[in-house]
Amino acid sequence: MHMVYRLTYHLDRWEEYLLFLFMLLMLIALSMQVFTRYVLGFSFSWAEQFARIGFVWLTMAGVSLAAKKGMHLKVDFLPQSLPRPLAAKICFFSDIFVVFFGVFMANLILKTVLMQMRLHQVFPSIPWLPVWTMYIAGVLGMLGLSFRTLQRMMLERRARSVSSGKAGEE
């Protein structure tokens, strides 16, 4: 049981690991680029493109992480100014919309990934790296958005049912 707990703990933190990894790789690549350009007088052709790809992966992992923590961009003026039961319903339908939006966008981006795979397109400055490797981050990020939103909704529902159950016992 302990091993299962550890595995789920690490799987639950995949966004944080990806954010750390890509931030570290971008820092190394861009630091090397600055050093070689200004100190040694030459630059790597791949460093800028690598940083762009890393930024895309950072953004998409961040979308999923923000959904997990309930920190994604939303307008919450209306729910704050309405009675609690109505506000809860609006938030529920808003979250359901986010789930479907994430799946819809993942599907659209996946079509682009499949097209890039069929075309065998590569980056000009990194000829060994297929272009689809950048777009697959969008698929994973949007699916992560949907999954993490559902996960947060279930955890919030469980917390409400536990707190209302305890409140009834007192």
Asked, for residue 121, whether it belongs to a domain, the answer is: yes
Please state at what angle helix 14-35 crosses helix 47-69, rounded to 10 degrees. Answer: 150
Residue 122 β-bridge partners = 130
Residue 105 CA to residue 144 CA, distance in Å, equals: 11
71 near 62, Cβ under 8 Å?
no
8 pLDDT more than 80: no
What integer pLDDT is reported at residue 141 of this predicted model? Answer: 94
pTM: 0.83
Q: List, for residues 22-79, the tens digit of each pLDDT value.
A: 999 999 999 999 999 999 999 998 999 999 999 999 999 999 888 888 887 776 777 7
**pLDDT for 7:** 67
Residue 152 lies in a domain: yes
What is the tally of structural domains in the chain?
A: 1
Structure confidence at residue 136 (pLDDT) = 97
Whether the per-residue pLDDT at 4 is higher than 80: the answer is no
Domain presence at residue 169: no
Domain membership of residue 6 (yes or no) is yes
Q: In 3D, which of 148, 124, 160, 143 has the Cα closest to residue 52? A: 124
Q: In the prediction, which pLDDT does 170 show?
A: 45
Is the residue at 154 inside a domain?
Answer: yes
How far apart CA 13 and CA 19 sit, in angstroms, is 10
Per-residue pLDDT at 168 exceeds 80: no
**What is the residue range of 40's domain?**
2-158
Q: Give the residue carrying structure tokens 């091993």.
A: 3
Q: Which pLDDT value is given to residue 31?
A: 95
Report if residue 49 sits inside a domain.
Answer: yes
Nearest to 26 by CA among 2, 60, 50: 50
Alpha carbon distance 35, 41 (integer Å): 9
| 168 within some domain | no
Is the model more confident about 76 or about 158? Answer: 158
Q: Is a pLDDT exceeding 60 seen at residue 2?
A: yes
Tell which wins on pLDDT, 8 or 36: 36
Whether 52 is covered by a domain: the verdict is: yes
pLDDT digits (tens, 9 = 90+) for 110-142: 999 999 999 999 999 999 999 999 999 999 999
